Amino acid sequence: MRRVVVTGLGLVTPLGSDVETVWANILAGKSGAGPITHFDASEYKCRIACEVKPKDHEYGFDADKRVDTKVQRQVDPFIVFGIDAAGQAIEDAGLADMPEEMRLRAGCSIGSGIGGLPGIEKESLVLAEKGPGRVSPHFVHGRLINLISGQVSIKYGLMGPNHAVVTACSTGAHSIGDAARMIKDNDADIMLAGGAEATICPIGIAGFAQARALSTKFNDDPTRASRPYDVDRDGFVMGEGAGVVVLEEYEHAKARGAKIYAEVVGYGLSGDAYHVTAPHPEGSGAYRSMKMALAKAGVEPSEIDYINAHGTSTPLGDELELGAVRRLFGDAIATVSMSSTKSAIGHLLGGAGAVESIFCILALRDQIVPPTLNLDNPSESCADVDLVPHVAKKRKVKAVLNNSFGFGGTNASLVMKAVD
């Protein structure tokens, strides 16, 4: 059977735009949250977000590094973030300049939950104010979700599968899981997989706030707003950015002497079949997704050392996920560490599953698990679980589980292990 390993990583997040900076900031317990600067949010119920910082910031993002200026002008920020993260990953894997026969077997599966919402919003206003003749000719292909994969495929000459997942907040995890299957199924030897999002724009913040999904009680204290499992949590804080990994068939990676971070050993996916935004009251979808991933991996719950939770800091979701973990893990709940890095970088929506899978991989690499910030007073049902409050924790990490759940009742779980 073909095995799938991770050989490259790329991150653009509110806490940095390269893997090592982001990881150092995450482990140091920094928060990427602040007042919204992308637009004037003074009249909004939610006025905070975790924005990717401008390039003059200590850990800001410089789009000029990897994205052509013309492309930057034509496409939405989620595509810019995605191209950069993909570039980091392919460079990290030593694959930025592949021969043609290798590129024929290399593809992309980089999705997004929503896609080019800021551009759709802006161009709709142009249409309303100036008429159809002023709508940009780049409007459509600068907003489409599969255009990260499209752009990356063109930039690096990748002629294998050209795919993009759209499953709301589980996009990043589904992207990696689906791409791993493509390699297992021999459709490709190499896949760039991940997700990106950038919807911190008026209609995005207004829409999520109206759906009662965002935190609105901490506008004056933004770094305390994302507080998964804490009794005072009141919704998620929107983040933005991208995460992309290079997945590679194991023998292929070994033959070229690639650095191997981890093996993707299990992938589970399920549907709640319950409600468009609310999670199933018994967490049944989450439970089945995790169970499938563990079964595929042939890994017992007791072998999982770290769970990067979906944990968005919403009143309902966090405890339902933890309840599902508790049922699945049984006594093994006592030995697992589970944290939500959304407490630091907010919720990257379609990027979340990929970014958080990278944190899982780095936890495997460095034998340390990242903290859940702001966990001052855990909700009663969370009190007996190691949720890694406030500070990162050194511990044995041999196998990890990442959960991502999305609107529409869609769930994805990934199990990864260190390669011996």
Partner 1 sequence: MSDTEERVKKIVVEHLGVEADKVTMDASFIDDLGADSLDIVELVMAFEEEFGVEIPDDAAEKITTVGDAVRYIEEHKG
The single-letter code of the amino acid at 318 is D
Binding letters toward partner 1, positions 43-82, x by CB under 8 A = -------------------------xxx--x---------
Work out how close the CB of 142 gets to partner 1 at its nearest, in angstroms, rounded to a whole number. Answer: 10
Q: How far is the CB of 393 from partner 1 (least distance, A)?
A: 46
Tell me: does residue 394 bind partner 1 (CB under 8 A): no
Stretch that binds partner 1, among 107-115, 128-136, 178-186, 275-283 (CB under 8 A): 128-136
Residue with Cβ nearer partner 1 (135 or 206): 135
Q: Distance between the two ends of the chain, CA-based, in angstroms? A: 17
Contact 310, 404 (CB under 8 A): yes
Concatenated DSSP letters of 323-359: HHHHHHHGGGGGT-EEE-THHHH-B-GGGHHHHHHHH
Pick from 2, 55, 57, 134 the residue near partner 1 by CB under 8 A. Answer: 134
Could you confirm whether 201 is annotated as catalytic? no
Give the per-residue SS3 of 192-232: EEEEEECCCCHHHHHHHHHCCCECCCCCCCHHHCCCCCECC
Bridge partners of residue 230, in order along the sequence:
378
User: Footprint of partner 1 on residues 22-41 (CB under 8 A)?
Assistant: none
Q: For residues 83 and 322, which CB has a smaller minimum distance to partner 1 in the complex?
A: 83
Residue 131 is a binding residue for partner 1 (CB under 8 A)? no
134 versus 212: smaller Cβ distance to partner 1:
134
Out of 136, 216, 277, 377, point to the residue binding partner 1 (CB under 8 A): 136
Q: Which stretch binds partner 1 (CB under 8 A): 131-139, 151-159, 243-251, 359-367?
A: 131-139
- Angle ∠(274,277,283) on CA atoms, nearest 5: 50
Question: Measured from the CB of residue 73, what is the shortest distance to partner 1 in angstroms?
Answer: 7
Q: Give the binding range for partner 1 (CB under 8 A) out of 86-94, 103-111, 135-143, 344-352.
A: 135-143
**Does the protein bind partner 1 through residue 257 (CB under 8 A)?**
no
Task: Show the tokens assigned to 199.
Answer: 């919807």
Marked catalytic residue, from 50, 169, 360, 382: 169
Q: Binding of partner 1 at residue 99 (CB under 8 A)?
A: no
* Environment class of 68 (CB within 10 Å of its CB; exposed 0-12, middle 13-18, buried 19+): middle
Cβ distance to partner 1 smaller for residue 136 or 377: 136
Q: Quick check: 132 binds partner 1 (CB under 8 A)?
A: no
Tokens of 23: 């990881």
Count residues binding partner 1 (CB under 8 A). Answer: 9
CB 358 within 8 A of CB 243: yes
**Distance between CA atoms of residues 265 and 180, nearest Å:** 9
**Which residues, at least 6 apart from 264, have a Cβ–Cβ distance to it below 8 Å?**
4, 5, 6, 176, 177, 180, 247, 414, 415, 416
Q: CB of 145 within 8 A of CB of 112? A: yes
Q: Which is nearer to partner 1, 70 or 394 (CB)?
A: 70
DSSP string over 292-313:
HHHHHHT--GGG--EEE----S
Shortest gap between Cβ of 82 and partner 1 (angstroms)?
19
**Binding of partner 1 at residue 398 (CB under 8 A)?**
no
Task: Give CA angle at 351 (186, 233), nearest 5°.
Answer: 140
Q: Least separation, in Å, of the C-beta of 69 and partner 1?
A: 3
Of positions 99, 132, 133, 257, contacts partner 1 by CB under 8 A: 133
Binding positions for partner 1, rule: CB under 8 A: 68-70, 73, 133-134, 136-138
Active site residues: 169
